[in-house]
Chain A
Amino acid sequence: MGPYEISLATGVGIYVILAVSLNLITGYCGQISLGHAAFFGIGAYTVALLSKLGWPMYLTLAAGLSSAGIIGVIIGLTSLRVKEDFLAIVTMGVAFLFVGIVRQQEFFGGEMGISGIPSHGMTKFAYLCFVLVFAMLSILFSWYVKKAWIGFAFDAVADDEGTARTLGLDIKSYKLTAFAMGTSMAGLAGGLYAYYTRFIVPETFGFIESITILSMVAVGGIGSTFGVVFATVLLVMMPEVFRFINDYKLLLYGALLFGVMRFKPEGLSGFYTLLTGNKEK
């Protein structure tokens, strides 16, 4: 593998974690979020700041994970209060507030971002493996959640809150659990990203990024881990494969999002069902 393939694969690994983590919240538990990149950003900023203070990598990553998770739970509280389209817009607001606040504070590097993040101290290939291990772990975790009792509870909450309530499920704590798990994984992805680029700016974690992550989930097939991972690889690689038609790259990206939703609203995991005959969900 050359440096190009390695850097690309590292990017894919980070996005797999992000997409899988959003799938926990939106796919499993039915809580739409248009602000997931904010947690990605919280993780990245925590890790960037702490690593510059000389904290070792495992501690910074743990801190990135927990800070995103804690703020995630706080944001999750809003999902107890507002629903559906209102929740979509509130989480979108979170995306704008995060960027809006970070870019104004000198403490976070403001518009100039944070550069000079210390190296992870591995070769590029070793770091790729490191990221892929986390990506694998998040996929396994996601499968585990699906099969475990909590997965059934999430399903019930996503399908119909009224029924879930009559079943005696504590909807509030399940929703908060979903937010805690999903956002802390996003925080981890942010930490990995900070060590990967060693330079972060607020704009990277804006609304557009949130949409990109949500697209991966939706194109893959909401709730299907396999589909989401496949879509993530596809969507991250696509601009690279089409780099030779620079000018039309984004146009194709938009058209693909639109096309999949219009003609295959259940996402690409529909193809998987078609091929194997076994339905994941």
Chain B
Amino acid sequence: MLFIELFIQGLIQGSTYAIIAVGLTLIYGLLRVLHVAHAGLFTLAAYLGVTVTNQFGSLSLGIVVATLTSGIVGVVIYRLVYEPILNKPPYVALIASIGLYIAMEELFRLIFGPFGLSFSSAPLQNVVVIFGIHLRACQIITVITNVVLLGILAWIAQKTRVGIGWRATVDDPEMSASFGIDPIRVRYLVFFVGSALAAVAGVLVALLTNLVEPTMGAVPSYKSLAIIVLGGLGNVFGTLIASLALGVIEAFGTIYIGDFLDRDAIAFAFLVVVLMIKPTGLFKSR
């Protein structure tokens, strides 16, 4: 029973990792940029979600505003930050991104204050008991959202024209451009979708913890980097599996090997071991 419960808690945690990391790996797959500021958009969305919900009393409105704004800011970041330095060595974009993330964290603190925000009355906290396991509505919704969003993403990538164009651009930008696919528009699209995913994760985490702080993106900023590497950089399915696996390993690790390694280190121990055995990650990189 305990094992099942730990497994479920791991899946919930893993689902939040997955939604953030999939957005990141989409961006990496296309541009090979380690986009640390992704976690800044995650925080931005959480702040917007809570503020709008508290102001207008509607969580749905909060989610819509948060997702759209983060998506647009993501595109703007691409256009103003990454595009001009794409042909530079990879560390340039990485450090620019880290600088941007630090500045964003500080801006949130200056604008929203250092104490963090909470929902005035947190939605989706009602408890559902399934086979003796108590779960909050927001926990169930987190897992469902993960499945639905990534399902939709897979469907778009496989079945729609937009998706085919996008995959073609990832595989061979020049070839696809010669077939009339505009690579810039594909990049805008990927940044919008990726950032919107981070936004959904931000609002979900706000619901789970009822606390939005300036530094809430710090852990996702590096942990999702580890996850996308484990999943094979740019590989969406691999990232999903790696996220869920990490969530579950952390859940068991916290209880059974917590005396030896803390939760953050578990992820990286796992990562280092995997990369030593298989230098390209668990799954094939795209």
Contacts and interface: CB of A to CB of B under 8 A. Distances in A.
A and B touch in the complex (CB under 8 A): yes
Interface of A: 26, 32, 78, 81-86, 88-90, 92-94, 96-97, 99-101, 103-104, 207, 211, 214-215, 218-219, 222, 247-248, 250-251, 253-262, 265
A104 B91 contact: no
Given A101-B265, A218-B91, A222-B89, 9 more contacts: A32-B91, A92-B226, A96-B267, A97-B265, A104-B259, A207-B222, A256-B99, A257-B96, A262-B85
B276 interface: yes
A254 B106 contact: yes
Nearest to A214: B95
A215 B222 contact: no
A260 B229 CA distance: 27
Contacts of A81: 275-276, 279
A59 to B, nearest CB: 31
Given A92-B226, A103-B262, A257-B95, A82 B275 contact: yes
A85 B27 CA distance: 14
A241 B103 CA distance: 18
Contacts of B266: 100
Chain A contact surface mostly: helix
A96 B88 CA distance: 28
B279 A254 contact: no
Nearest to B81: A262
B110 A248 contact: yes
A2 B94 CA distance: 39
A93 B99 contact: no
B262 A93 contact: no
B265 A99 contact: yes
B280 A86 contact: yes
Nearest to B85: A265
B147 interface: no
A254 B271 contact: no
Interface residues of B, number: 47
A85 B272 contact: no
A97 B271 CA distance: 11
Nearest to A81: B279
Contacts of A92: 222, 225-226, 268
7 contacts: A26-B91, A32-B90, A81-B276, A84-B90, A103-B262, A215-B98, A250-B105
Contacts of A84: 90
Nearest to B88: A265
Contacts, number: 133
Most chain A CB atoms below 10 A, which of B90, B92, B269: B92
Nearest to A258: B99
A262 B266 CA distance: 34
Nearest to B263: A100
B94 A88 contact: yes
Contacts of A83: 279
A81 B276 CA distance: 7
B103 A251 contact: yes
B261 interface: yes
A101 B96 contact: no
Nearest to B223: A96
B175 to A, nearest CB: 24
B103 A258 contact: yes
A92 B32 CA distance: 18
A93 B226 contact: yes
B221 to A, nearest CB: 10
A101 B275 contact: no
A84 B261 CA distance: 27
A85 B266 CA distance: 20
A144 to B, nearest CB: 25
B225 to A, nearest CB: 6
Given A99-B265, A222-B91, A261 B96 contact: yes
A90 B272 contact: yes
Contact of A100 (B32, B88, B106, B265): B265
B190 to A, nearest CB: 18
A247 B229 CA distance: 36
Instruction: Pick the 7 closest A-B CB pairs, nearest first.
Output: A100-B265, A257-B99, A254-B102, A258-B99, A254-B103, A261-B96, A93-B268
